Amino acid sequence: MNSFRNINRRDFLKFCAGTASILGLSEAAVPRVAKALEAAAKKPPVIWLEGQDCAGCSISFINSTNPGTAEIVLDTISLRYHETLMAASGRLSEKALDDAINEGGYVLVVEGSIPAVDPRFCQIGGTDFQKTVSKAVARAAAVIAIGACATYGGIPHDCPAPGQGMGLGEAMKKGVVPRKPLINLPTCPVHPERFIGTVVYYLMYRKAPALDRLGRPVVFYDKLIHDNCERRGHFDNGEFLTDWNNFEQRNWCMYLKGCKGPFTHADCPKRLWSDGLNWCIGCSAVCQGCSEPDFYAGMSPLYERSGIDIRGISVEKIGAYAAGAVAIGLAGHFVGQAVTGRLGKGGPKDEGGDK
């Protein structure tokens, strides 16, 4: 047995190998991952705060099972405060939070948005969430916002709830919360592997992984969903699902049904969800763009086409080009590739970040 509770060395190394692959590292990095995790057995402490949220990211995190990820990480990172998971409640839990903040040097994880209108709309233990986050950010060694709400505001930002909501980055920009380097891990909910990979990277290098202009680790968010989608061949051939009841169309491209994959950056098609079981498009749901700052309102209605042509070219034309190309003996996907070569970035709102 190593220093991790209930986990033998073999399982531990298997976990390290899995974590290295999450980060796109080669097998040679496994001993380094193992060393970082073992050295971290007593530290760093992690404080996990929940604001205006549904606890979906917490559930996503504890649902990870391969192999006992939650167990390992809970031990490894020394979770000092988590309202949903901790056994303590009331004054005891508040004391646990105060003690951890006073010690400083922890990794702060924020789930859920911060009230944008009136701080009183979200209080924990009688204290404004805004104040608790500010205090916790000030003494944190690293700050990670997880899920759509904590990163860019998510559903609370766009729904008519009185408190509304803003992401941590926006709160920092507005001076509501002290400014600190911030790692954003969007999607609704957070993907457990992206969270674990980011924490392990931090333990290994004591710094954030390379981030894009929206604060997202490029290792997880650099490609468009559309680039790796299993239905991309149908897009390239101009085969668009228009009738859910038409069996022949069941695997065709869902762009006309509202898919936001051409505007959304994340590795869902490769990483998959639920321990590699499936993902949105794999079970015939459109990509709703939940990794982008525009989610939720900017991606709605979810099942209607965005109304935006891809780089100025209508999808109907892509279909027509493809049909013409077949007629003159060219493979349709070459036409599609020529058209979609104008993609790359963009979408409902090209400039992202805080709302």
End-to-end CA distance of the chain: 48
3-state DSSP call for residue 304? coil
Nearer to ligand SF4, 124 or 285 (CB): 285
Q: What secondary structure letter does DSSP report for 281?
A: G
For residue 337, the minimal CB distance to ligand SF4 (Å) is: 12
- CA-CA distance, 213 to 208, in Å (whole number)? 14
Residue 266 within binding range of ligand SF4, rule CB under 6 A? no
- From the list ligand SF4, ligand F3S, none, pick the one residue 232 interacts with, judged by a Cβ distance below 5 to 8 Å according to partner type: ligand SF4
The binder of ligand F3S chosen from 291, 315, 333, 352 (CB under 6 A): 291
Nearer to ligand F3S, 182 or 268 (CB): 268
Give the residues across from 106 on adjacent strands: 140
- Residues in binding contact with ligand SF4, number by CB under 6 A: 14
Q: Would you give the binding string for ligand F3S spanning residues 246-265, x where CB under 6 A is met?
A: ------------------x-
Q: Which residues contact residue 1 at a Cβ distance below 8 angstroms, ignoring those fewer than 6 apart?
A: 7, 8, 9
Q: Which residues contact residue 291 at a Cβ distance below 8 angstroms, ignoring those fewer than 6 apart?
A: 148, 186, 187, 216, 221, 264, 265, 266
Nearer to ligand F3S, 262 or 336 (CB): 262
Residue 254 within binding range of ligand SF4, rule CB under 6 A? yes
Among residues 194, 107, 116, 197, which one has the least CA distance to residue 152? 116
For residue 307, how far is the Cα from the chain centroid?
25
Residue 336 within binding range of ligand SF4, rule CB under 6 A? no
Using CB under 6 A, list all residues that contact ligand SF4.
225-226, 229, 231-232, 235, 253-255, 259, 261-262, 281, 287
Catalytic residues: 54, 57, 149, 188, 226, 229, 253, 259, 268, 280, 287, 290
